Amino acid sequence: MLINGAKIIVETLIEQGCDTVFGYPGGQVINLFDELYLNRNRINHILAAHEQGAAHAADGYARATGKVGVCIATSGPGATNLVTGIATAYLDSVPMVAITGNVPTSLIGRDSFQEVDIVGITMPVTKHNFIVKDIRELADTLRTAFKIAKSGRPGPVLVDIPKDIQTASWDFEAKKDPVRPYPLNFASEKKLRQAASMIMESERPYIYFGGGIISGKASSELLKLAEKIDAPMGCTLMGLSAVPSDNPKFLGMNGMHGHYASSVAQDEADLVIALGARFSDRATGDKKRFNKNFKIIHIDIDNAELDKNITANLSIEGDIKDALFRLIPMLPAVERPEWDKRIEELRAEEAERLERAAASEFAKKCENCTNPCTMTGIPAENRLDPYRIIDIISSKADEHDIVVTDVGQHQMWTAQRYPLKNPRTFLTSGGLGTMGYGLGAAIGASAAEGRRTVLFTGDGSFGMNLNELATAVSQNTPVVVVIMNNGVLGMVRQWQTLFFDKHYSNTTLARQTDFVKLAEAFGAKGARAFTAEELEKIAEEAFSGNSPFVIDCAVDCNEFVLPMLPPGGSIEDIITEIK
């Protein structure tokens, strides 16, 4: 069938199983948008307020479903606005196809209106990218893009399509099925046997898992392993939601802001079994000191992650689900009463340290704070603090609701505290740490799954991309936005308090934004909570509806994310209380 390039794009997207795309029109994609209009009953396009929001929405769609997320932007500024979203997906291994229009091939390289070399720009932040200069290659290039995005360790792929390719015609025939990923690599039998004997020799094994468990669909194998070898588990930020937070073997996230028991247990282990994780600097701190006490078995689908940040004693390349499935039968079931006892001690110590931190003098004082303090006069038992906010919200939410965060203190508090049950219900920008990620991602996740999303954000992060409230309203997205509003850029402020003599350079916002009015101006509902009592009521209302609702929660600017391993520090430097 002879059809034009724009139609080939839409037909190929549908062929690849794509039901929803996120984007923003413009001069060099006008032909593509014409086809999206003509095919609006077959493929849903969600109009974002800004291309960055569209990219984050495609990312949220992909993280919530495991399918490839698709975003579309025009050339030039449209394309460059996608870049942060693409980089966010790249650092967190999210399958995405970004389609950009470009000026006609005859105008390329002449600094034409709205021309940028987006392939050059995105080369370091994509798994691969393409510019299509021949209509005959258009459909297959898009198919390859999907194939690359979902193969092995997933990631974003960009396809740049000049306007004349969209208008040219070529023969197209849809394939019956979406492209299949490249064949997976499987762990070598010999290495798995070595792993098994290392585990059998170990007295204090600790499982450290990352986002690879989620993208590798290996949650149940992971739980079986932990059960069988009686090992505690800790995870990276990206690993959260892979196992239920209340699993008795699970100690929570470790690393810079991880749970005390989780980080210390790892340090006291004699063997760390790293599964689908990459030993980021936020997880390890000082790399020279990090693995002084334990051996490491590292299993990952991406060979390049093995021995990249930390040199393991045994590195195994392969699909994680298959590797665990084959490893588990090689291991005898054991019990480790002494190690279990030590873990229980650490849990108790963690609880005690949390209490001490909450009761510390610092937590009560607002010295050097120039903000009008919203906390004054509220009795302690009714005060909102970050954990209390999370507890109230999570008590109203359903376990299938998808929790999304922005970046900063609120992100770490949510990562530490929110009780997660199911994989793919916690979406956060881990590797890139993109403030402004959350609202777009929440919209994308809701659009994909038809489920409610709960966005935890801060007044700083929310300020970055709050324009997407417009999208949430036009889509009637069931999103509850919880702003932890402390009037400061809390995470940077925390560093300034600890490491820069309380020089609060540019972290005191002193804004007069009324988030309730703002929500209403966008057509959403909004309410402000100063006390726990108020938040209970507001949350009740927010979760009873099915449309965007913004809850502005007052939080003390002296709330700290604890514990904290200082950057480049090690477990001995752990801060659990501010004095």
- Binding residues (CB under 8 A) for another protein: these are 119-120, 123-124, 127-128, 131, 148, 302-304, 306-308, 311
Please, which residue, 141 or 477, has the CB nearer to another protein?
A: 141
Q: For residues 128 and 336, which CB has a smaller minimum distance to another protein in the complex?
A: 128
CA 512 centroid distance within chain? 30
- In the complex with another protein, the residue whose CB is nearer, 200 or 304, is 304
Measured from the CB of residue 280, what is the shortest distance to another protein in angstroms?
Answer: 15
Residue 282 burial class via C-beta count within 10 angstroms: exposed 0-12, middle 13-18, buried 19 and up: middle
Q: Are strands 169-171 and 2-4 parallel, antiparallel or unpaired?
A: antiparallel
Q: Closer to another protein at the Cβ: 157 or 488? A: 157
Distance CA 305, CA 186 (A): 16
Provide, rounded to whole angstroms, the least separation between the CB of residue 411 and another protein: 26
Q: Is 488 helix (H, G, I), strand (E, B) or coil?
A: strand
Cβ at position 549, least distance to another protein in Å: 42
Shortest distance, CB of residue 148 to another protein, whole angstroms? Answer: 6
Bridge pairing between strands 295-300 and 453-458: unpaired
Block residue for tokens 């219900």: 425
Rounded distance between C-alpha atoms, residue 344 and residue 140, angstroms: 56
Strand partners, 402: 453
Amino acid identity for residue 508 in this structure: T
- Which residue, 129 or 477, is less far from another protein as judged by CB? 129
> What are φ and ψ of residue 395, in 5° steps?
-70, -25
In the complex, what is the shortest distance from the CB of residue 276 to another protein, in angstroms, rounded to a whole number? 17
Which positions ≥6 away from 382 have C-beta within 8 Å? 531, 532, 533
Whole-angstrom Cα distance, residue 20 to residue 27?
A: 22
Smallest distance from the beta carbon of 121 to another protein, in angstroms? 11
Tell me what percent of the chain is helix, strand and coil, each rounded to the nearest 5.
45, 15, 40
Residue number with CB closer to another protein (301 or 472): 301
Strand pairing report for 525-529 and 295-300: unpaired
Nearest Cα residue to 230 out of 211, 258, 252, 202: 202
Residue among 50 and 153 whose Cβ is closer to another protein: 153
Instruction: Provide the minimum distance between the beta carbon of 157 and another protein in the complex, in angstroms, as a whole number.
Output: 9
Question: How far, in Å, are 424, 471, 524 from residue 449 at the CA level?
Answer: 11, 17, 21
Minimal distance, residue 130 CB to another protein, in Å: 9
What whole-number distance in Å separates Cα of residue 181 and Cα of residue 40? 28
Catalytic residues, which ones? Answer: 51, 113-114, 163, 491
CA distances from 215 to 87, 140, 204, 417, 421 (A): 18, 25, 27, 23, 16
The b/e string for 17-40 (b: 16+ C-beta within 10 A; e otherwise) is ebebbbbbbbebbebbbbbbeebe
Q: Which is nearer to another protein, 1 or 123 (CB)?
A: 123
Residue whose tokens read 């025939």: 173
Listed in sequence order, the residues at least 6 apart from 522 whose beta carbon sits closer than 8 Å to its beta carbon are 469, 470, 472, 473, 548
Residue 128 or 451 with smaller CB distance to another protein:
128
Cβ 431 to another protein shortest distance, Å = 15
Question: Least distance in Å: CB of 238 to another protein?
Answer: 19
Of the pair 134, 399, the CB lying nearest another protein is at 134
Q: Which is nearer to another protein, 235 or 306 (CB)?
A: 306
H-assigned helices in 151-286 = 163-167, 189-201, 212-215, 219-229, 260-268, 281-284
* Furthest CA-CA distance within the chain: 74
Enter the tokens of residue 341. Answer: 């006892």
CB 46, CB 445: distance < 8 Å? no
Per DSSP, the three-state class of 402 is: strand
How far is the C-alpha of 240 from the C-alpha of 226, rounded, in Å? 16
Q: How far is the CB of 363 from another protein (least distance, A)?
A: 41
The Cα 194–Cα 204 span in angstroms is 17
Token pair belonging to 544: 């009873």
Q: At 51, which amino acid appears?
A: E
